[in-house]
Amino acid sequence: MIFNRWSTLHIEPKRRAEFWREAGQKAKTPVTPNVPWPDDFEATLTTRGFEELALNHVQVCSPHDVECTASDLARLERPFLFIDLYTSGKCDVLQLERGMQAAPGQPFLIDGRREYRLDHRQSVSMLALAIPFAALGPHASAVESLIARPQPQNAALHLLAGQMRMLSAWPHAFEKAESERLSDLLVGAVHAVLLGAREGELTTVRRERSFFRRKVRQVVEQMYADPALNPQVVAEKLGISVRSLHARMAQDGMTFGAELMAHRLERAHGLLRGARRGSATIGEICARCGFVSAAHFSRRFRARFGMAPSAVMADGGRECAVGHAECAAEHEEPVAQPQTYSCSSPPRDPSSAEPNPG
């Protein structure tokens, strides 16, 4: 395991900023520090290496900021993902035009392949885990949506933060075999964090899509009978643009025209099956469901259900007639059947019965 420590305490004030820049480069975090008061800039950087990973503990006793510039990126040997955790003090984080304020105990991610800025208005103590992007495997694709944002609180994130604290405070050096095991442990924890955040993000996306689909269907259910219903009307009802309506429906493989047509045909099918003889015509049902052309309705209906509207109406009428007949039969009073007797043994009159002797 690699163990190094740098301190500005014994560095001439005018050279402290450059010294800090060189120390960051050696600790796999190349940045350019902005030190407004060099005489007060007291800083310590302790780094522990676990195979290809590095865990840095940074302590700075004065306000300052650091910036990863294009020239700093050019000095990178290979790209790293940084998981930063402040143990004291706060930081304003900026990357990819995203900003957040990191508070103590709140881990966040920084993409070491891109420029970023960390502003410290007070003394700070922080931990930074540097992990090569090559070690992230298929989880690397989840990084961009998570950088410079508060991370969802979950067990994996708390586990990783606890591991970083424990390892930074460990008083002894680690043997090579143990360092390898700890490297695997840290990489696994980072994988779990990225996977959990990605799954949480996907769950949120699914929930938003489901809610949007319900809103579209509600408008269609309310207005499907209007032949003038179109994407512009629905978009205005939902408070979005027509382009956004089409794009969001396309995410689920849907189109507005197909959704509207499916609802109108299902509604027409239900009305045709439930129509009693003479209660409504096919033309009336066609118009009631928002169709202007009976011929167009008939073609789309046959393509959807494999039957003509008239056939569905006829089947529905027969089912209705049968249903009414069965219902009447169930409620019909049973008719008393007359008693019949054999000719060889006519019924006896009770009044002519012989008295029972004795």
What pLDDT is attached to residue 198? 66
For the domain bounded by 2-204, which CATH number is listed?
Answer: 2.60.120.10
Give tens-digit pLDDT for 79-125.
999 999 999 999 999 999 999 999 999 999 999 999 999 999 999 99
Residues near 280 by Cβ (< 8 Å), separated by ≥ 6? 271, 288
Query: Domain spans of the chain?
Result: 2-204, 266-330
- Span of 123-127, 149-153, 231-235 with lowest mean pLDDT: 149-153
For residue 346, pLDDT beyond 60 = no
Contacts of the segment 216-224: beta carbons below 8 A, 24+ positions apart: 216/245, 216/249, 216/256, 216/259, 217/259, 217/263, 220/259, 220/260, 220/263, 221/263, 224/260, 224/263, 224/264, 224/267, 224/289, 224/290
What is the C-alpha to C-alpha distance for residues 207 and 275, in angstroms, rounded to an integer? 38
Q: Which residue has the tokens 């509600």?
A: 218
What pLDDT is attached to residue 100? 95
Give tens-digit pLDDT for 48-59.
999 899 999 999
Quick one: tokens of 332?
Answer: 């019909």
Give tens-digit pLDDT for 306-321.
999 999 988 865 554 4
Residue-averaged pLDDT of the chain: 86
- The answer to pTM > 0.75 is no
Distances (CA, A) of 85 to 57, 126, 214: 10, 6, 40
Query: So what CATH class is 266-330?
Result: mainly alpha
How many Cβ atoms sit within 10 Å of the Cβ of residue 290?
21
CA-based nearest residue to 299, from 265, 255, 275: 265
